[in-house]
Structure 1
């Protein structure tokens, strides 16, 4: 307390905040995840010191009563003044202000607390640092002193300086007892090596090519846990798994949201699926420049074998087994975020699915990838340029708007890969082929032709007429049974698909029904109040006062009635018979269901062409086709905020018969990066964020069931679907 004085019976004074002695331990121990995280912080400090390498040596007494960890770098070192005014000052802004090292490295440390991570490694710390002028400064710290001290400035640290001819650099020697040694196990050391392998980004190869930026990490065990009888020295290098990809997308995105990406695959030696993708976010990234390198691995047995053949080895002679390869992918997977060549933990840890890939894969396993299939690296800029801010506890990035943008953009880049992977797997026959149910049913219908072939074959082989006729009758009977079963399956399929279509418009029902329902509830309340007042008083004025509320109830009830009238044709309780329907009237009925939704979203529509032509089909199927097409148009034109929002349907007529139906919209169209546009009709293929990939597949099946064919044309703007007549009698009635 200073300058205290008494005025008007009040005690007034100024005071200083004095951190407690254990404050240093709080930022050194409590904010650091574990021993390995502490060593990674010290590795970054060695990099900041312009060291070409860092050597971490573990040793211990044979009876496990004492251990020592020596962390040695060969950087520019620190003089006495730097140690006193910067190294010993918690949360100093020195690196924050400098931003780069003397040799131009972008500094990893910014918070001014990483060096105190040594407090978690042992009981004592000896610091030895030699600067480029030959001044050697030592400082000895007993961490228990900070635990015992009331205030931080009560702790005194002895610092000595001498001249030496030794090379510049800094050495930290941590010592501890048996209790601390228990923290180090064989598994812990393996994890340390693994974490360091994942620490440095392979995207930094261009930088590492510069001699000033060369940085190597060595782990040495001198009679330690894994080598109690000798010495093990290992240079830690990233595992070259990323170059053994099945699929890969890489490229850079400028801060304005534009970039060029390269897609590659090693799944086929006969097909060239590699592709260059021009990508535009349509807006600034709002998280700086981004660089991506994302590799995806298939997990089927055949794919694991291919991966092994690409060269995954223990050493020059021994390849990995399938089980080892699978475990390697389990351990090494994750999409890491790197800044200046170093990973920001835990982003990229195998069990930290920060992009929610597994959640998306559950919804669409055929197209989406899971976190255990991907090894990715994303480079981000400094905090000043990206606003992607590391947490003080070194446990990721702060959940701000910039981080939200990073997640959304990363998901979009991954989707570019997923679309191409889906197409490749379909073409190579790797994934389970989409079940074209109508095509399968046609095989059942063709059984009669197969039976005729059998009878003719038997005749040609000389079988007598009586026997041939018996076989023919038996096959004919079986053919009728199979045909009837196929018809029942077809009806059931159509019913379920129709119900799925109804499920897709529940949001429309809720949206349009919410306002009239709310108005009815509110008006009923006031109507009852006025009506009760009339019953009590017999005052006709009270009765008259209730009439406006009754009118409002009636009006909103009519809105409900009109809504249900529009939806009534979609009821699939019993499947209608095949019948001649007026195509124009049917389409008007379908479009009217979405009239309010389109009006709210400024979407116009027109239906042109023949208003009289009829077509024999199941009306539910025709509605199902156009419900799915219209829903997609509304979604994408609204989602992408298309400049013009318009749907046009044209009914083509030839010789008083339906020739085709064209459906177009002015939206963003099919993703131009999809080479095979017919993929959109495959079940589970979707570009919607929460899509299931069923709508267009259902539409295609419904068309085929009715002798129609739904196809898409490649146009510069919007989408262009056509429904053609395949044959005039494709529908097997059997009613």
Structure 2
């Protein structure tokens, strides 16, 4: 016993799996591509009367007061025949209804005429189908014929080749059901002597309804002879379901068919020819994005995820002509990607990056307020219209678009929500023209949903979306913000008030001389000349006020800088307050209230010192006051390090981290410090270590995380080392900048302040904090922080 399929199930499949007329056309064109058609595909719409007009005329007969005669109904039908319809079909329609003598007979003949004379013809010169192919493959919904071939290509794993077929699910043939209720297939292979013909009337499945699907008998037959050696397929869809016009087909051609093949590829010789026509009138498609448009983009971001062995790396390049910014290239290794991809947060294995596979992308950003004319395209409005036509980020697999990504309103990378919450530049789907390129063989886990509404949900899809979202909303966004700030700062520095004032004075002299000359030859009202002179004086006065304002701003520059510092300090304090709260919660949670031992005492000391640091920070925000004096003393560094490590003993245990302290000699090392600042530095370093050691542990099952702290003298130093992934050479200084972080950005996570605060604390102590010993654990990376302190008061 097995499932039984009813006839109506076939109809439901066609309605659900082929969601729109444009998707249906897309599938038919893909079939021609898979058939390796030598001359492309020719899609002809031959429409004698629109479905909407035909349905309206017949519906008018159902009105109670309808007293229309047969001749009047004929005239009504004939008046709605399209004048540009193929002449043969027009005459066939007329002949079919001509003999009707009653309303009932006319309606019957009119429906017959509509079924036969309105059609879509899809023709290609591909390898065709034999009679056996029609019986065993075409009439098998969900056939594995192509699937097996594609899977074999994936198994062989040659990433230099494309899969043998674009379609592999075996449901694309249901596209004809979406477009019309009848279909006739005429096809032949090069070895056939006769054409193979299959006719399907989908109305028969509606009539059978609850009967088994196989109760509707379908059988291919032999047709007319064909030329020796020719192969082809001709699909004739009739009894059309939708109302078609030249305008509607043009819209689909522009919005869907034009974007079917990668429009960023400008080599037309490699593009599959697609010819569309409506009643013999060609329908044009802009097959590529204008290269001049992309060159005029205000900024662009390109990148590629690639693998060296099984280790992934993501390289991203940014550039901006709008701000004349330097090109910036960033490289993210496997450790960065573990965090950026969201795998660390979700607890999923790093192997998902490898099963995702390589991909590349390019995004072109347009500031809609800064459009200008572009040679080869047109004026500002022409540029705006072209950007609107191509806006969106599409996904292309082996050069062909995955629907519906890139459609108007589609936000598959979740940019619009992020843009609403972001400050500065709003990088949303209305501003970016872009593409992401994947391959069926190289990205075998990224599969289409059967209804062609995007990729199926899987961990690899989630990682792809997360990485691209992070690149755009975090790194591309920050690049544009910094480029804009740098340009504004440069423009401000380049403005020379003395020089500009001299220019205005020179213009005034020239104006006076010109007015004198005009006055000698001008016999009109002298008041007009005086008004010109007064207007210039007003402009000069406005310039003088502007120069005075610039001077005032420069005088207040130091005060503004101090206010900016206060703003940043608020961020710092918020960070420290949150960290102290978290530390307090963890400390109280782990306290044994019935026994106060040394561990508990150490934990309370850490909490006490953090609260003192926060109190001192708050004092620095007292309006117009001098920062409260912070008391320093000579303290034993080993004691401080020991009780900080003791306070984290339980945390280290949960994460299997081994931590230890050592000194160069038996003599204790002291430094003239504020104890709380040293504690805060160590806390931030430990917090980072736990995060990245955890990532390394997830990536390597046999990894044993370690933290080692060495105390040295002359001058007093604390060298802090962990055996995590380390920091690449390119980020030795950037990691200490505020808000720099390669961790995934979220609405609640503190980002990029920890090491900045640590260095600030070190400098407040008169010391330094930096990275040392490149390559001591990993080649080209730093794993050791060195905190250098003062030994005594100066």
Same fold (TM over 0.5): yes
Structure 1 counterpart of 2:273: 216
Distance 1:195 1:221, change over 3 A: same
CA shift in 2, pair 1:492/1:394, >3 Å? closer
2:526 paired residue number: none
The match for 2:45 among 55, 58, 74 is 58
Q: In structure 2, how many angstroms separate the alpha carbons of the residues matched to 1:16 and 1:627?
A: 64
Structure 1: distance between partners of 2:648 and 2:488? 34
| Residues 400-450 of structure 1: per-residue CA shift (max 9 Å, x gap) | xxx31354367558867999758865875557999xxxxxxxxxxxxxxxx
Pick aligned residue for 1:566 from 587, 598, 606? 606
Which residue, 116, 135, 157 being the options, matches 2:194?
135
Residues 52-91 of structure 1 correspond to what in structure 2 (within 5 A)?
A: 52=38, 53-61=40-48, 64-65=53-54, 67-91=118-142
Mapped pair 1:579 → 2:640: no
Residues 502 and 374 (structure 1), Cα distance of their counterparts in 2 relative to 1, 3 Å cut: farther
Query: Once the 2 structures are TM-superposed, how far is the Cα of residue 632 of structure 1 from its aligned partner?
Result: 1.0
In the alignment, the residues of structure 2 paired with residue 714 and residue 299 of structure 1 have an alpha-carbon distance, to the nearest angstrom, of: 44
For the 8 Å contact 2:163–2:441, the answer to whether it is kept is: no
Shift in alpha-carbon separation, 1:580–1:391, aligned structure 2, 3 A: same
The one of 321, 339, 343 equivalent to 2:401 is 343
Matched residue of 1:579: which SS? coil
Alignment of 1:293 onto 2:352? no
Which residue is 1:697 aligned to? 756
Contact 2:318–2:327 (8 Å) recurs in 1 = no
Q: Does 1:395 align with 2:453?
A: yes
Aligned to 1:181: 243
- Residue from 678, 682, 697 that aligns with 2:733: 678
Asked whether the equivalents of residues 18 and 174 of structure 2 are also in contact (C-alpha less than 8 Å), the reply is no
**Residues 593, 196 of structure 1: alpha-carbon distance in 2 compared, 3 angstrom cutoff:** farther
Specify the alignment match of 1:715 in structure 2: 774
What is the rounded CA distance, in whole Å, between the counterparts of 2:568 and 2:738 in structure 1?
15
1:34 alignment partner, one of 20, 30, 38? 20
User: What are the superposed Cα offsets for residues 272-295 of structure 1, whole Å, 9 maximum, x if unpaired?
Assistant: 656888879897557657332211
Does structure 1 conserve the Cα–Cα contact (< 8 Å) formed by 2:602 and 2:644? no
Would the alpha carbon gap of residues 600 and 36 (structure 1) be closer, same or farther in structure 2, given more than 3 Å must change? same
Distance change in 2, residues 1:555/1:319 (3 Å): same
Q: What residue is the counterpart of 1:164 in the other structure?
A: 226
Counterpart Cα distance in 2 of 1:587 and 1:367: 43
**Equivalent residue, structure 2, for 1:332:** 392
1:80-159 mapped onto 2 (5 Å cutoff): 80-99=131-150, 106-132=164-190, 133-149=192-208, 150-157=211-218, 159=220
Cα separation, 2, equivalents of 1:485 and 1:104: 59
* TM-score, structure 2 normalization: 0.63
* Conserved 8 A contact 1:297-1:373: yes
Q: What is the distance in 2 between the residues matched to 1:193 and 1:485?
A: 52
Cα deviation code 1:593-627 (max 9, x no counterpart):
43332243323142647633213x5x554443332
Return the alpha-carbon distance in structure 2 between the equivalents of residues 428 and 631 of structure 1. 31
Partner Cα separation in structure 2 for residue 293 and residue 286 of structure 1: 14
Change (3 A) 1:676 1:37: same
37-46 vs 349-358, greater mean Cα deviation: 349-358
Alignment of 1:205-284 (within 5 A): 215-222=272-279, 230-234=281-285, 236-237=287-288, 246-250=300-304, 252-253=306-307, 256-258=310-312, 263=317, 265=319, 267=321, 273=328
What's the CA shift for 1:163? 0.8
After superposition, the Cα gap between the structure-2 partners of 1:196 and 1:707, relative to the gap in structure 1 and judged at 3 Å, is farther
Q: Residues of 1 paired with 2:188 and 2:352: CA distance?
A: 44
Q: Is the 8 A contact 2:356 2:460 kept in 1?
A: no
- Choose the corresponding residue for 1:614, options 655, 666, 672: 672
Counting only pairs closer than 5 Å after superposition, residues 282-431 of structure 1 correspond to structure 2 as 288=355, 290-300=357-367, 314=377, 323-324=384-385, 327=388, 331-334=391-394, 336=395, 338=397, 340-347=398-405, 351-354=409-412, 356=414, 373=432, 375-382=434-441, 386-399=444-457, 403-408=458-463, 411=466, 428=483
Could you tell me which of 708, 712, 724 is aligned with 1:667?
Answer: 724
The DSSP-based 3-state class of the residue aligned with 2:180 is: coil
> Aligned with 1:699: secondary structure?
helix
**Structure 1 length-normalised TM:** 0.67
Deviation at 1:107, TM superposition (A): 1.5
- Cross-structure match for 2:654: 600
Higher RCO structure, 1 or 2 (CA under 8 Å, sep 6+): 2
Q: Secondary structure at the match of 2:358?
A: strand
Give the distance between the partners of 2:567 and 2:264, measured in 1 at CA: 54
For residues 213-239 of structure 1, give each alpha carbon's deviation from its aligned partner in whole angstroms, at most 9, with x where no partner exists.
Answer: x6222332337xxxxxx5434473466
The alpha-carbon deviation at position 49 of structure 1 amounts to: 0.8
- Measured after TM superposition, the shift of residue 50 of structure 1 is 0.9
Matched-pair contact (CA < 8 Å) for 2:45–2:277:
yes
SS where residue 693 of structure 1 aligns? coil
Counterparts in 2 of 1:714 and 1:145: CA distance versus 1, 3 Å: farther
Work out the CA distance in 2 between the residues paired with 1:195 and 1:204. Answer: 16
Match of 1:640 in 2: 696
C-alpha separation in 2, matches of 1:83 and 1:363: 55
SS state of the match for residue 613, structure 1?
strand
Distance in 1 between residues matched to 2:649 and 2:125, nearest whole Å: 73
Q: 1:293·1:378 contact (CA, 8 Å) conserved in 2? A: yes
- SS of the aligned residue for 1:140 comes to strand
Displacement, 1:119?
Answer: 0.9
Number of residue pairs matched?
A: 602
CA distance in 2, matches of 1:277, 1:565: 39
Offset, 1:631: 1.0
Deviation at 1:146, TM superposition (A): 1.0
Q: Determine the C-alpha separation between the residues in 1 that align with 2:216 and 2:131.
A: 18
RMSD: 4.9
Contact 1:203 1:379 in 2 (8 A): no
CA distance in 1, matches of 2:287, 2:565: 61
- Alignment of 1:200 onto 2:261: yes
**1:57 shift after superposition:** 2.7
The verdict on how the C-alpha distance between 1:678 and 1:569 changes in structure 2, with shifts beyond 3 A counting, is: same
CA distance, structure 2, for counterparts of residue 647 and residue 494 of structure 1: 31
